[in-house]
Each structure stands twice: as C-alpha cells, then as structure tokens.
Structure 1
Amino acid sequence: MAYQTEVISSQPQVTINSYTVSSVSTSDWSSNVCDCCDDCGICLCATFVPCILGCKVAQDNGDSCCLPFLPGAMIALRTSIRSKYRIAGSVCDDWVVMACLPLCGLCQMAREQKMRG
C-alpha cells in the first residue's frame, strides 16, 4: 500500500508584481550655524540659559527634557533633527558643530524647529 503525503506550508506567500522606488531629496539648514543674530531671542536664551533652550529643542523634537544633560546627547539630537527634516550632512558634521560651536549649533537647531514648526 502506498501513501501519498502533502506538505502544507503555514507561512503565507507573497508575490510582488511591481515596486515603487522613491527618491529622498535633501535640503540645507534654513540658516547658517553662525547666523545667531537671525533670531535674537533664541541667541539670548542660548547665551544666558542654554539648558532651558536645550530642553525646549529636545521636547519640540519629541525627546525628554533631560536629554541635554546626557553626555553626547546633543550630537544625537542634532542628527535626529537633521534626519527629521531631511537636511544634508553626516554624524561627523554634527559632532564637529556640537563639539566646536555648541551654543551656535543649539541656536541653529532652535531656529530650524521654529521655521519648520
């Protein structure tokens, strides 16, 4: 007597007939890193109470207000904002700005959020 077995797969099969490729365009920051005088309120806040401005920028990005107090977190915040708004650049660029010009970089992030918000 011969038995015939049938294998039934429990995993769904998907057939892809076509796909769409979309290109992601990038832009530049709306202001230069040293354009602090473009918004004197942001500039004064960064000069005298940078922790408050850092908390606001972090919260406006959907992050915790405590973020600016963590080592290296402002680099990550800048990278996140750049990615969110599809701004051209790299993590290395973000590191250089936040290591060399931290208050100017903070002002630039705040101006970008204000302009795009």
Structure 2
Amino acid sequence: MEETTVTDQPEASVRKTSARKDEEVKNSTTGSEDGCKLPAVEDVVLTQPGLGVTTTTITTITQTGGQWSTGLFNVCGDKTTCLLGALVPCCLDISLAHQYGECLCLPLLPGSTFAIRVGIRERYKIQGSVCEDWTAVYCCYPLAVCQMIREMRQRMKTQTYHVSTALECS
C-alpha cells in the first residue's frame, strides 16, 4: 500500500509510506464518529503574528463648479505663461497635457487641445458648452492654452489632502 500526503504550504512536504510502514500509520491514526481511521494531522501555522493591519485614508477635496477662474483675455495675471503662450504655445500645450495627466505626445494629435479643454471643463464642473470650447481653441489657440494652464494651477492649489493612518493590533 502506498499513501501520498501533500500539504498546502509554500514548501510542500510529501510523505510516502510503504507496506512495512503501515504500523507507523496505524499508530498515528485517529478515529472518527463513523468508526473510520484517519491519519492524524498536525496543526500548521500559515501566518506569523504581526503588529497589525495599517489602514491609510486619503481625502481629496477639489473645488468644482462656477466659471473659469480667469478670463480668456486675462493675460497679465501670469506673465510667464503669457510669454510662453505668445512665443511657443506648443510647449505650453505639452505642459498642459502633463498637468492634466495625459501623455506628453497628446498635443501632437489634431483636436487634442480641444479635448483637454472639454475635459478640464467637465472635471471641474465649469459652466460652458462644447461650442464655446471649440471657438476658444480654434480662434484663440494661444489664449485658450494660457487660460487652461492658469485654471489647472488655480484648481490644483485649492485641493486639500488629509491623510490619516490607523494601526489595528491583532
């Protein structure tokens, strides 16, 4: 008679007994209610006791609603952005894609600035329409990019992060 026992641990142990070791198996068996003999199983510790479970909660508060924080023609509010928008708006568009959380190659695709503007308006619940977004981007591209950069910076400043950590002992 041959018996194989495999335990469910990372280091699986296999025990084989032959006919001459039947006596050892008989000595290590226990009875059950129906009279059957079962091999005795030792309790195995699968996890070690630790310090406990750490729970971390992060709360983000984002300002939403209302109008754009700055107007389309409010170029004097941020002189650096205004200068970059006038000289190299494509570089400013790449910076906008990065701040928005998109790939830096996104501004190379046609219509991407328009899509980001609609996304900013939807994300922050800014009042307006797709028609207004299209007009701003395609008629006043550098001004629209500058406005979106200013909006992203303004909205990112108003986010509040609250981090709390709790340790539950086991």
1:39 pairs with 2:78? yes
Point out the structure with the larger helix share.
Answer: 1
State the alpha-carbon separation in 2 of the partners of residues 116 and 43 from structure 1. 18
Residue type of the alignment partner of 1:100: C
1:29 pairs with 2:68? yes
Deviations along 1:28-85, one digit per CA (max 9) or x if unpaired, are 0000001011100101111112121101111111111111111111110100011111
Q: How many residues align?
A: 93
Post-superposition, which runs of at least 4 consecutive aligned residues in structure 1 deviate over 2 A? Answer: none
Match of 2:146 among 107, 110, 116: 107
SS at match of 1:26: coil
Residue type of the alignment partner of 1:75: F
Counterpart of 1:68 in structure 2 is: 107
Counterpart of 1:48 in structure 2 is: 87
**Normalised TM-score (structure 2):** 0.53
The alpha carbon displacement at 1:114 in A equals: 1.0
Q: Percent identity?
A: 40
The alpha carbon displacement at 1:108 in A equals: 0.2
SS at match of 1:30: coil
Counterpart of 1:90 in structure 2 is: 129
Match of 1:80 among 107, 116, 119: 119
Point out the structure with the larger strand share.
Answer: 2
